[in-house]
Amino acid sequence: MAYLDHAATTPMHPQAVAAMTEALSTTGNASSLHTSGRRARRAVEEAREDIADALGARPSEVLFTGGGTESDNLAVKGIYWASDRRRVLASAVEHHAVLDAVEWLERQGAEVTWLPTDRFGRVSPESVAEALDDDVALVTTMWANNEVGTINPVHDIARLCSEHGVPFHTDAVQAVGAVPVDFAASGASALTMTGHKVGGPYGVGVLLLARDVKCTPLMHGGGQERDVRSGTLDVPSIVGLARAVRISVDEQASRAVETAALRDELIASVRAVVPDVIVNGDPVDRLPGNAHLTFPGCEGDSLLMLLDARGVECSTGSACTAGVAQPSHVLLAMDVEPALARGSLRFSLGHTSTHADVEKLATVIGPVVERARTAGLAGMRRSRKVVKQ
């Protein structure tokens, strides 16, 4: 089986599994004052320091959450609520965890400006500069796009925001471990990352929140995590997460080179059998493991099923509750024709990807595309009876 869906979730690092497993058999609430509690608290604080060090943040800026969606919601809603300003600027290609949170704020009375993107899905600092004023409570732009892999000029956007005294949040779920991420150097006020995209466990994430940024909690309770995120700390997950962050950040530079080479090989081998394949996203400034491809004349769901049956796993875009492939808002924002958007697949490589995975795809993609094209044409036939005449 060729697992080419690392952007959805990537296998846990064995060391993270080991660290987490050990922590799972240890008792102690990190908020308790006795010996067991102190031991748990120590594990959490070491994890916090490790993550801060790996991501260029201060330990006090690391807030543990339940994952990327929570971190995004906390940043978007919390920073907006804590401000007396009314405007929010968000890119049109955000993950739904940001997009839907912003849309919800809009229904609550926020004035939202959707930042346009170019044909690669990149937000321009100019469009941010144009929209900024002193009534903006928050600007949010993802570091790297989860669908097409394009990397945004977050440093430039952060600088502009800082000049206007506006907090800047960036969803770096796909970026951490894939490209260099340094919170302090980026100039961002808040940054989202999550465990299961970097070889850590599911259900745990981090919001890096600069110390001077006010953020109203989503959840009230015991006052953990600077009073911004109450709830008993999940010590084993936090320990596993820290281990994974450390490994993925330490190995980032060399891994990125290897993964990008493999990704380029994947694209080249697909193009060799499907010459009209289209690569979406920025050709250069993109995540090393991302190959987002459009197969003209095909339906993405047909391709996915045929590949799945042949042992190749990939994605048609963001998964959704009902499992229905909706036309991707990212591709639509990039002005891709809806028909082409429907014929797109995301292949994403990660730390366990091999040449064999790419070769497996290369051997099956030709016949699969041919068959999906026939099916795509079948879909265009309005009526069997008409065809017979």
Q: What positions carry a catalytic annotation? A: 320
| Residue 320 CB, nearest approach to other proteins (Å) | 8
| Residue 23 CB, nearest approach to other proteins (Å) | 32
Backbone dihedral angles phi then psi of residue 277, each to the nearest 5 degrees: -65, 140
Residues touching other proteins, count (CB under 8 A): 25
Cα–Cα distances (Å) from 332 to 145, 173, 277, 376, in that order, read 14, 22, 18, 20
Instruction: Please give the torsion angle defined by the CA atoms of residues 160, 132, 78 and 162, in that order, rounded to the nearest 10 degrees.
Output: 20
Stretch that binds other proteins, among 37-45, 85-93, 116-124, 301-309 (CB under 8 A): 301-309
Report if residue 379 touches other proteins, rule: CB under 8 A. Answer: yes
| Residue 370 CB, nearest approach to other proteins (Å) | 10
Interacting residue with other proteins among 302, 318, 344, 353 (CB under 8 A): 302
What lies within 8 Å, CB to CB, of 264 at 6+ separation is none
Interacting residue with other proteins among 306, 314, 331, 364 (CB under 8 A): 306
CB of 99 or CB of 132, closer to other proteins: 99
Nearest Cα residue to 225 out of 4, 69, 47, 13:
47
| Residue 96 CB, nearest approach to other proteins (Å) | 13
Nearest Cα residue to 118 out of 141, 152, 143:
152
Counting every residue written for the chain, the total comes to: 389
CB 359 within 8 A of CB 312: no
How far does Cα 324 stand from its chain's mean position? 20
Report if residue 372 touches other proteins, rule: CB under 8 A. Answer: yes
Interacting residue with other proteins among 25, 35, 383, 389 (CB under 8 A): 383
CB of 275 or CB of 323, closer to other proteins: 323
Strand order in the sheet with 136-140: 62-65, 205-209, 190-194, 168-171, 136-140, 87-91, 111-115
Report if residue 319 touches other proteins, rule: CB under 8 A. Answer: no
| Residue 103 CB, nearest approach to other proteins (Å) | 15
Interacting residue with other proteins among 112, 305, 332, 339 (CB under 8 A): 305
Question: Which 6-25 residues touch other proteins, going by CB under 8 A?
Answer: none
Three-state SS at 240:
helix
Report if residue 331 touches other proteins, rule: CB under 8 A. Answer: no
Report if residue 107 touches other proteins, rule: CB under 8 A. Answer: no
Residues forming contacts to other proteins in the complex (CB under 8 A) are 301-302, 304-306, 308-309, 321-326, 371-372, 374-379, 381, 383-385
